[in-house]
């Protein structure tokens, strides 16, 4: 079953939802032979209705089978979003369709799990790499952590520039 809820249940109080959406019920649409969903999309969520919005908070989990960009072995990559939160609008252009008081939130969960996937999946620190070092070098090692650290670097760069400006005065 997809993750659908009755809006009228949320009129008086927030509610908790636990379960999982089977893989063929989610349009993963990964467009990538290197990554495939494995098992269901697990959720453990608290949902609150605030006027015409739903606030969704909790945990999402989904495993994927990936091919490592370095050693080309397939491995299981578990994605866990532990303190996740999302929004669903009930009115306006971005709103989700409500049919007979039921709203389907599967797409919101799917999108954020996809965003958490690394661009270049890597089997882990124990990765043996490829026998040919030339090939191993050309494969990016960790994409997500690198992106994070470069964001941090640019923040420091910005601070450095601020300091320089102050020195001139």
Smaller CB distance to Zn ion: residue 60 or 123?
A: 123
Smaller CB distance to Zn ion: residue 7 or 127?
A: 127
Rounded to whole angstroms, how far apart are CA atoms 5 and 53? Answer: 14
Rounded to whole angstroms, how far apart are CA atoms 3 and 77? Answer: 23
**Minimal distance in Å, beta carbon 125 to Zn ion?**
10
**Minimal distance in Å, beta carbon 70 to Zn ion?**
5
Residues forming a β-bridge with 18 = 44
Smaller CB distance to Zn ion: residue 71 or 105?
A: 71
Smaller CB distance to Zn ion: residue 49 or 70?
A: 70
**Minimal distance in Å, beta carbon 135 to Zn ion?**
12
Q: Decide: 43 and 3 in contact? Cβ < 8 Å.
A: yes
**Minimal distance in Å, beta carbon 81 to Zn ion?**
24
Tokens (6 digits) for 82: 């532990």
Closest CA to 141 of 161, 157, 125, 152: 125
Residue ranges in contact with Zn ion by CB under 5 A = 68, 70-71, 123, 127
Q: Decide: 89 and 51 in contact? Cβ < 8 Å.
A: no
């Amino acid at each position: 079953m997809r993750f659908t809820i009755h809006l009228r249940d949320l009129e008086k109080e927030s509610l908790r939802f636990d379960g999982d959406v089977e893989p063929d019920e989610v349009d993963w649409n990964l467009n990538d032979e290197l990554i495939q969903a494995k098992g269901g999309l697990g959720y453990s969520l608290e949902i609150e209705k605030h006027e015409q919005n739903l606030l969704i908070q909790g945990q999402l989990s989904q495993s994927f089978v990936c091919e490592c960009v370095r050693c080309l072995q397939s491995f299981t990559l578990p994605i866990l979003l532990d303190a996740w939160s999302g929004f669903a609008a009930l009115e306006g252009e971005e709103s989700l369709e409500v049919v007979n008081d039921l709203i389907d939130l599967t797409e919101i969960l799917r999108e954020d799990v996809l965003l958490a996937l690394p661009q270049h999946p890597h089997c882990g620190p124990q990765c043996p790499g490829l026998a040919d070092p030339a090939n191993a070098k050309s494969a990016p090692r960790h994409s997500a952590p690198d992106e994070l650290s470069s964001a941090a670097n640019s923040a420091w760069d910005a601070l450095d520039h601020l300091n320089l400006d102050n020195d001139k005065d």
